[in-house]
Amino acid sequence: MKKIERKDIWILLVQVAVWAFIMLLPLLATLVSTHDFQATKTTFMATWAILHSPLAMYFVNFYIFGPYLFFRRKFLLFAVCNLLLTLALNYQFLYVWIARDRIPELPEMTPTMWIGFFIGFFMFLLINCFVAAIAIGIRHFMRIRQIKQQLKDEKAKNTEAELAWLKNQINPHFLFNTLNNISSLCQIDADGAQDAIAQLSDLLRYAMYETNKKMVPIEGEVEFMRNYISLMKLRCNEKTKITTTFDVKQNMEIAPLLFISLVENAFKHGVSSNRPSKIDIRLLQNANELIFNCENTNFPKDDTDRSGSGIGLENTRRRLDLMYAGRYKWEQSIEDDIYHVRITLKIKD
């Protein structure tokens, strides 16, 4: 059995209030115009005689026939039940027809009177059918809205789960690449490697404990990228030129670890031990846009290099699709052996 929620009670109260207004309106009009309580009582009896059937048809269809018959595609049973309910609520017509010869106070019915009788019966039948259709229509509208909301909630849950999965992939991916770099550094500078491990500890502390929110302050992300770049510089020689520019407001927020995969990619593909290399990383705010720009020399890895599988860039694109849909622009190109990637985010102050 479905649990009754507060909104269900409010829906019931609203419907009761509407029907009460419809039924009380003739009474109030009579009372105000005549100031006669007997006339008001007569109006109430007449109003009840007319509206009790549509009232019952509405609520029975809204709460019983609609959910348990119509929306379960039991249309024939739905029609039969409504017909039987209509006949039961308007039994007086059947009683007059069946017992017409045994009711002494009933005047002799002329053909014209019988025509009026049947017209009245079919009018009541049509009114009941119309009210039942209104009940089903309102119920259908509410049902469609509920289904859309459920789909929206389910999509949001799936999106949150996918974002969490993507972000959880970033941490081990980042750790894998960083440890690979420290491993290379151990062979040439043991003291530098020890310092790098300390820096890595700070980076991991941020990545694991400070990025659990959907959005994080930009200053934390900038500091994280500065530290990461500083760590990566340890394995670069004098042939590599690294420049960085960070010029953003300190009161804005972005998705955590959004650009780190691009920074990783720059060091993975942009540094050579025996050839001139350069990496230029910029994070700038321009009006209502946040622009990440990265340029690096391009030294493609061969198939035997297992330092990464490209999953970081794929995750970055997917996270942008999920969190900044319609609010970002991705541009990338390779010209004169220089790889260029530019991400423009529309942000809110």
DSSP 70: G
CA nearest to 51, candidates 25, 77, 72, 31: 25
Separation between Cα atoms, residue 260 and residue 176, nearest integer Å: 13
Separation between Cα atoms, residue 231 and residue 226, nearest integer Å: 9
Q: Which residue in the block uniquely carries the two structure tokens 């849909």?
A: 325
- 232 with 313, same domain: the answer is yes
Question: Burial, 87: exposed, middle or buried (Cβ in 10 Å; 0-12, 13-18, 19+)?
Answer: middle
Q: What percent of the chain has pLDDT over 90?
A: 21
- 78 with 193, same domain: the answer is no
Q: What is the mean pLDDT of residues 140-163?
A: 72
- 206 with 292, same domain: the answer is yes
Q: What is the mean pLDDT of residues 220-229?
A: 88
Q: Which secondary structure element, helix H or strand E, spans residue 222, and what is its range?
A: helix 218-233
- 290 with 192, same domain: the answer is yes
Report pLDDT digits (tens) over 194-210. 777 777 777 777 777 77
User: Does 87 fall in a domain?
Assistant: yes
Say what the pTM is.
0.53
The pLDDT value recorded for residue 136 is 93
- 205 with 317, same domain: the answer is yes
282 φ/ψ angles, rounded to the nearest 5 degrees? -135, 140
- Specify the number of domains making up the chain: 2
Confidence of residue 2 (pLDDT cuts 50, 70, 90): low
- 198 with 100, same domain: the answer is no
User: Does 51 fall in a domain?
Assistant: yes
- 197 with 126, same domain: the answer is no
Separation between Cα atoms, residue 183 and residue 42, nearest integer Å: 97
330 φ/ψ angles, rounded to the nearest 5 degrees? -115, 125
Q: Which residue in the block uniquely carries the two structure tokens 């060091």?
A: 267
Report pLDDT digits (tens) over 293-330. 999 998 876 555 544 445 667 778 888 888 888 899 99
For residue 211, give the CATH number of its domain: 3.30.565.10
User: Does 157 fall in a domain?
Assistant: no
Domain span at residue 87 reads 6-152
Separation between Cα atoms, residue 69 and residue 61, nearest integer Å: 9
CA nearest to 272, candidates 244, 296, 255, 256: 296
- 217 with 90, same domain: the answer is no
pLDDT greater at residue 105 or residue 5 = 5
